[in-house]
């Protein structure tokens, strides 16, 4: 049974397509109690992280790296993960990967930026300077050797048609570690995570999974993404229901970030 009370926790969800199944029950379920569980709002991944840091949100679909930085706790069972190529996190380089010196990074996701840094350092032996920029590939490659594009902007690109070397970072992580990559989980402070809201997140996700066809038909048009690609992406690339292997991969990713990035060790959140 879901918690009852006059106060609805403020929940920040990500505005990308890959979050829609997680919140579909909150938006469309015939269960009024489920729809009214939270005060739901949408933002970029990094903005969700900032809202929890500033206490203007109680729960967020948090980039995993920010969960570690802010020492948050998470609700188990649902999130955003991949077990192979993810399609929506692309590192695109106009120079050979081992020659990358600068990386223009979509400022919307800190987990993806850290994943790129870990992969580039551990697999290719390079540690490029990071330049946060809006997700415009031509502009990004005009300022840097390579670009990191995530989320809906990445889905609008056709990697096979790009005249540049392109890495799918979800697939690279899986081939390096043999483990899933978890990008985001529902997280918050200990005092709210101990409440039984996990049931609500699970119910909303399951409702979304049951209505993937509706989501793929309705959402892509307003996002500029083809319906067929949206359906393939949500059913073949993204994993929403997380198990022990997913959390094993998540913990390995966090450990890699903690070893690699001094900012994480200090607990500071970069601008």
| Residue ranges with strand state E in the chain | 10-14, 39-43, 59-63, 73-82, 89-93, 102-106, 129-133, 146-150, 165-168, 181-188, 239-241
Q: What is the pLDDT of residues 11-42, one digit of tens each?
A: 999 989 999 999 999 999 999 999 998 999 99
Kind of pairing between the strands at 102-106 and 59-63: unpaired
Q: For 10-81+180-265, which CATH superfamily applies?
A: Periplasmic binding protein-like II (3.40.190.10)
Q: What is the pLDDT of residues 67-77, one digit of tens each?
A: 998 999 999 99
CA-nearest of 211, 271, 266, 250 to 65 is 250
Domain ranges of the chain: 10-81+180-265, 89-177
Q: Does residue 261 surpass a pLDDT of 90?
A: no
Which pLDDT band holds residue 222 (cuts at 50, 70, 90)? Answer: confident
Would you say how long the chain is, in residues? 271
Q: Does residue 3 surpass a pLDDT of 60?
A: no
Q: Which residue has the higher pLDDT, 264 or 98?
A: 98
Q: Return the sign of the alpha-carbon dihedral for residues 242, 257, 270, 169.
A: negative
Q: Does residue 269 surpass a pLDDT of 50?
A: no
Q: What is the pLDDT of residues 107-138, one digit of tens each?
A: 767 889 999 999 999 999 999 999 999 999 99
Q: What is the pLDDT of residues 76-115, one digit of tens each?
A: 999 999 999 999 999 999 999 999 999 999 876 788 999 9
**In CATH terms, are 10-81+180-265 and 89-177 the same topology?**
yes
pTM above 0.95, yes or no: no
CATH number of 89-177: 3.40.190.10
pLDDT at 72: 95
């Amino acid at each position: 049974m879901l918690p009852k009370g006059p106060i609805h926790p403020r929940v920040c969800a990500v505005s990308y397509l890959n979050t829609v199944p997680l919140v579909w029950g909150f938006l469309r379920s015939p269960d009024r109690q489920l729809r009214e569980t939270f005060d739901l709002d949408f933002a970029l991944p990094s903005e969700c992280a900032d809202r929890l840091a500033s206490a203007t949100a109680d729960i967020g679909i948090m980039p995993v790296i920010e969960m570690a930085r802010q020492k948050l706790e998470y609700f188990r069972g649902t999130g955003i993960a991949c077990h192979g190529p993810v399609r929506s996190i692309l590192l695109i380089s106009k120079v050979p990967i081992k020659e990358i010196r600068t990386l223009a990074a979509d400022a919307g996701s800190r987990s993806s930026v850290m994943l790129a840094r870990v992969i580039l350092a551990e697999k290719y032996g390079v540690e490029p300077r990071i330049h946060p920029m809006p997700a415009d590939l031509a502009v990004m490659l005009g300022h840097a050797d390579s670009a990191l594009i995530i989320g809906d902007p990445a889905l609008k690109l056709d990697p096979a048609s790009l005249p540049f070397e392109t890495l799918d970072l979800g697939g690279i992580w899986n081939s390096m570690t043999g483990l899933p990559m978890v990008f985001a989980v529902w997280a918050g402070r200990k005092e709210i995570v101990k409440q039984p809201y996990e049931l609500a997140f699970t119910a909303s996700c399951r409702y979304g999974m049951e209505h993937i066809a509706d989501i793929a038909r309705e959402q892509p048009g307003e996002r500029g993404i083809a319906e067929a690609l949206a359906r393939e992406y949500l059913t073949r690339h993204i994993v929403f229901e997380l198990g022990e292997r997913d959390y094993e991969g998540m913990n390995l990713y966090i450990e890699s970030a903690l070893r690699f990035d001094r900012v994480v060790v200090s607990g500071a959140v970069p601008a």
